[in-house]
A and B are shown apart, each in its own frame.
Chain A
């Protein structure tokens, strides 16, 4: 691929050409090279608890079905009939033993096999091999602590290799508040269309903490879990005394987490409700007991390459930014709670999630406004002669440093930075250039290897 496709983008210098957010050719390349190869989040096992349960999701621009077959095995299929492509499922979720195509009535069982073809004997016998015409299935799928990720690339590394050291940050979003591994459930999915390029949203979740001022209105009025007690801010100050860490991983992932200086510094959320507050305090105590010193590492936000963002605490959930045309994104926000939390806690959390998140959330409405009008500028001819500045905290990161006594793996800063975005777009360029998997995993990126080699 012509290097010039990225225009003036120069990540060493810290500049990104605006064209990457509006160029149709780049967008088509992304669909072909990023979304066919990377591991993508599809859904959660709690959405399909029983055999025959399905949830209709997306991978990139395309509709897929997450289904638990009659033998209890989870699959992800392209939602497209093999005959002429009609969607075989147009329900958002449900339970079925067959997917029946509305067009010519081919049917498929929940394991993707062709079950019935009308007038097969008279019209196809001896020609059509049913074994070959089942639903198109992803090349690899993983159920990681309930979260189902999939890839169309049979040569992609396994999920844990793909995640690298970012995996422990995903853990912090998926694990129970008391430190037990997994155990979360999805309590709802917000789905909406945003007029922006999908990378704007992904990049924001990588840990763009610099956009804090855009949320001033909610910080002023106080909408956090303890907002009713008059506490200002959009979240409770769980991380207030912690040292924040901004981490870029060689595979393109980026997170913003935080390390408590000592055990004593934890402020539980929910000071307006002593019972709920007590529940969180107890969870935190158990987490400390289970994880020891490591429990001082707390989650905040991040984005796993390419488009799976998360919030680790307040609120808590995964969000997928599906490309939907070069200037449109479909946000799918999966909200998480501990499956075995009391109803009162789930109610408390979901109500906070609703007033915080998504298109109806007081905090994120302001993100939506910025993403729209910022990304729109990239269409301007004059605007495009002037690339974006990505120089925040350039050259300030360290490899695997120890922060408050805990080693943090990855390239880390303890100050706000755009190095996650710089690293993200380095890997993104490699995907668009159709690089080999070693390159996509960052194995040839000197930033992630020079110091490692010296270790």
Chain B
């Protein structure tokens, strides 16, 4: 089950919109770090205890989506089921200069939209931990003619550490069944 359940609808007051702007800025900074290939800075956006998860998705009978549409983090195989160590390794791999699936580097742009704060605790005015949802459009152009469009949803949990947000849980819902790309070499 995606961790996108909402306990009580958040009130969309001034504090909410300020918080949302802060989150949007955080996401834009994060996207820029990736697109401008400041990978080490990107890693700093992620909490040490992060779960970074992208399920595989199935065609299932109507009514079974909640239970069976997506793989879960707790068992079996998914596209990504990462912690900070493996994400650091992925960055390290790019920096070797011989990770041929990203050498030469791809051109990537992350578009982050539809950002909403779903939950804030203890409050929107004093948000220490929040749940968000957003959409992404990740465009990748590789070498010459290779182009991939990844579109989907992201459900994050952010925590405030030393005044700034870090992602402690990220669920990436790519809107594909059979993966229509040869390799997922970019981050989401």
* A residues at B contact (CB < 8 Å): 90-94, 187-195, 214, 216-218, 220-223, 227-228, 330, 335, 346-347, 350-351, 353-355, 359-360, 362, 364-366, 368-370, 372-373
Contact = CB atoms under 8 A, between A and B. Distances in A.
A193 B90 contact: no
Contacts of A221: 89, 92-93, 96
B59 A92 contact: yes
A189 B90 contact: no
A94 B61 contact: yes
Contact of B59 (A91, A350, A353): A91
Contacts, number: 120
Pick from A93, A216, A365, A373 the residue with the most CB of B within 10 Å: A365
Interface stretch (B8-16, B24-32, B119-127, B172-180): B172-180
A134 B169 CA distance: 49
Given A92-B177, A192-B179, A217-B98, A223 B89 contact: yes
Interface residues on B, range: 35 or more
Q: Chain B contact residues: over half helix, strand or loop, or mixed?
A: loop
A193 B101 contact: no
A193 B178 contact: yes
A154 B111 CA distance: 54
Given A214-B100, A362-B93, A365-B101, 5 more contacts: A359-B179, A364-B183, A365-B99, A365-B185, A369-B101
A370 B100 contact: yes
Nearest to A193: B180
Nearest to A194: B182
Contacts of A217: 93, 96, 98-100
A188 B56 contact: yes
B161 interface: no
Contacts of A220: 96, 98
Interface string B148-181: 0000000000000000000000000000011111
A216 B99 CA distance: 8
Given A195-B182, A217-B93, A346-B75, A360 B54 contact: yes
A287 B162 CA distance: 53
Given A188-B56, A221-B96, A368 B76 contact: no
A350 B77 contact: yes
A188 B78 contact: yes
A92 B64 CA distance: 12
A359 B100 contact: no
A362 B90 contact: yes
Contacts of B89: 221-223, 227, 355, 362
A54 to B, nearest CB: 11
A368 B146 CA distance: 13
B137 interface: no
A108 B58 CA distance: 23
B71 interface: yes
Contacts of A372: 146, 182
A91 B178 contact: no
A354 B81 contact: yes
B58 A369 contact: no
Of B58, B64, B102, most A-chain CB atoms within 10 Å: B58
Interface in B79-131: 79-82, 85-86, 89-90, 92-93, 96, 98-102
A339 to B, nearest CB: 13
B184 interface: yes
B1 interface: no
Contacts of A192: 178-182
B186 to A, nearest CB: 11
